[in-house]
Amino acid sequence: MQNIHVELTGKGVVTLLFTVALVLGVLALVWLLASPAWAIGIGAGLVLLVRGVFWLFKPHSE
């Protein structure tokens, strides 16, 4: 079994916060320009995508 080591630096935290703010801004624009349903659907899809990535990297028992 392989272990994955991830280090979180200050620059990484700032990048993560900037990315989250950017995604929320885009979703707000979609909410205003298209419709709330589209923004909610895209947001739910992004949540499922992130959960899937975490599931892929989580160690599984064999």
Q: What is the pLDDT of residue 7?
A: 81
Q: Indicate the pTM of the whole model.
A: 0.72
Angle (CA) 2-56-20 rounded to 5° is 120
Each residue of 49-59: pLDDT tens digit? 999 988 887 77
Each residue of 2-27: pLDDT tens digit? 677 778 889 988 999 999 999 999 99
Res. 39 pLDDT band, cuts 50 70 90: very high
Can you give the residue ranges of every domain in the chain?
A: 10-57
CA separation, residue 8 to residues 19, 20, 45, 48, 60 (Å): 15, 16, 25, 23, 23
